[in-house]
């Protein structure tokens, strides 16, 4: 689906871009960043893989909540694979180039996983809403078939956005510089290299952001408003704590993801320097995927107990103390 690179002003075809984010840093800083991001990357892969394996292996976690958590871990692994390996290569080998097709593919999957995560987080909020506000009908409403449909819809939501936006953007002519002022091929810095009228594309991008990012955010807010109202009606403090503990991990993950991404894309241009945008982009593309399994492991007793049981099975012990 990717178009042929357009000719530049000098008549040659644009075959690659240059990622400029770390190019001006000293070699010592690049080495330090490489080690830092490599450790974060490995923790992300191991942590999310453990969540997937444990929720599959432990029968106590075969519930809708952990089915959606498993999907979230798959998403986080994919999100990281799109961004981090190329960034590590840039820091280690100092090869800052990325091919025209490689840039388009990276942007495509960035949009795909990003939009899918927005909808999956909204689906997880709906699951918690039904569990807390309508517990008697929860097994009927959120059954296995419904879970599969909601998860499939969340994954599919990323396809139209990624396909239309990436194909449209890379059909524009690129001329002059090919230097992308970012550590990956995000839409705004690549769009600045286009030498054509992009007004319609920018309008589409705004509409797409509202539909596929803000609507899931509003659904999450509505779900948690109803959840908070239901928790306040619980007479016993212990019951309130138990109800809140079932959704606190998800709420923290939502907060981290939406705050960092919103500050990146919705801040006024006058208050949004390229450097601050890069730092915010690092938070939701690199740091948040690492924190998600840690948050769910440390704040969720069921996951901690399941990890303990799995570990003891592996080493041959019967009980998890």
Domain segments of the chain as ranges? 16-315
Q: Pick left, alpha or beta for residue 12 (phi over 0 → left; psi -120 to 50 → alpha; otherwise beta).
A: beta
For 16-315, CATH number? 1.20.1070.10
Range name among 88-92, 205-209, 235-239 with the lowest pLDDT average: 235-239
Q: What is the DSSP letter of 157?
A: T
Q: What is the DSSP letter of 20?
A: -
Q: What pLDDT is recorded for position 314?
A: 67
Greater confidence, 242 or 230? 230
| Pairwise CA distance, residues 126 & 77, whole Å | 23
Q: Give the gyration radius of the chain's Cα atoms.
A: 22
pTM to 2 decimal places? 0.86
Task: Name the 3-class secondary structure at 16.
Answer: strand
* 163, burial (CB in 10 Å: exposed 0-12, middle 13-18, buried 19+): middle
Query: Which element (helix H / strand E) includes 298?
Result: helix 288-298
Q: How confident is the model at residue 236 (pLDDT cuts 50, 70, 90)?
A: confident
Q: What pLDDT is recorded for position 307?
A: 75
Task: Name the 3-class secondary structure at 94.
Answer: coil
Q: With CA atoms as reference, report the closest residue to 73 among 290, 298, 313, 300.
A: 290
* pLDDT reading at 267 higher than 90: no
| Pairwise CA distance, residues 18 & 90, whole Å | 10
- Report whether 165 contacts 1 (CB < 8 A): no
DSSP string, 178-196: -EESSSS--HHHHHTTB-S
Task: Name the 3-class secondary structure at 234.
Answer: coil
* pLDDT reading at 99 higher than 70: yes
Q: What is the mean pLDDT of residues 59-75?
A: 91
DSSP string, 126-140: HHHHHHHHSGGGHHH
Task: Name the 3-class secondary structure at 19.
Answer: strand
The per-residue pLDDT of the chain, averaged, comes to 84
Work out the percent of the chain whose per-residue pLDDT is above 90.
Answer: 42
Q: What is the DSSP letter of 263?
A: H
Taking only the tens place, the pLDDT of each residue in 268-307 is 554 555 666 777 788 878 888 888 888 877 667 777 777 7
- Geometric angle at alpha carbon 292, from 147 and 32, rounded to 5°: 145
């Amino acid at each position: 689906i990717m178009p042929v690179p357009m000719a530049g002003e000098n008549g040659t075809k644009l075959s690659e871009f240059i990622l400029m984010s770390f190019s001006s840093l000293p070699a010592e800083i690049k080495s330090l960043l490489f080690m830092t991001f490599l450790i974060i990357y490995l923790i992300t892969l191991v942590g999310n893989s453990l969540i997937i394996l444990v929720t599959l292996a432990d029968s106590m976690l075969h519930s809708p909540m952990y089915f959606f958590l498993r999907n979230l871990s798959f998403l986080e692994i994919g999100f990281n694979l799109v961004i981090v390996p190329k960034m590590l290569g840039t820091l280690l080998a100092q090869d800052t180039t990325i091919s025209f097709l490689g840039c388009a593919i990276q942007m495509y999957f960035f949009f795909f996983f990003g939009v899918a995560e927005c909808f999956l987080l909204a689906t997880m909020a709906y699951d918690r809403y039904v569990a807390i506000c309508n517990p008697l009908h929860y097994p009927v409403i959120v059954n296995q078939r419904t879970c599969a449909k909601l998860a499939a819809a969340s994954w599919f939501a990323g396809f139209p956005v990624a396909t239309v936006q990436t194909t449209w953007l890379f059909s524009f002519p690129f001329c002059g510089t090919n230097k992308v002022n970012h550590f990956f091929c995000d839409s705004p810095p690549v769009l600045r290299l286009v030498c054509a009228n992009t007004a319609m594309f920018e309008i589409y991008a705004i509409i797409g952001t509202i539909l596929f990012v803000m609507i899931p955010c509003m659904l999450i807010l509505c779900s948690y408003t109803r959840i908070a109202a239901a928790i306040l009606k619980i007479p016993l403090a212990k019951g309130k704590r138990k109800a809140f503990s079932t959704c606190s991990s998800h709420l923290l993950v939502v907060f981290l993801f939406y705050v960092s991404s919103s500050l990146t894309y919705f801040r006024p241009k006058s208050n949004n320097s390229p450097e601050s945008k890069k730092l915010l982009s690092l938070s939701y593309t690199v740091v948040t995927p690492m924190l998600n399994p840690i948050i769910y492991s440390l704040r969720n007793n069921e996951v901690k107990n399941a990890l303990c049981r799995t570990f003891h099975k592996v080493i041959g012990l019967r009980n998890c103390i």
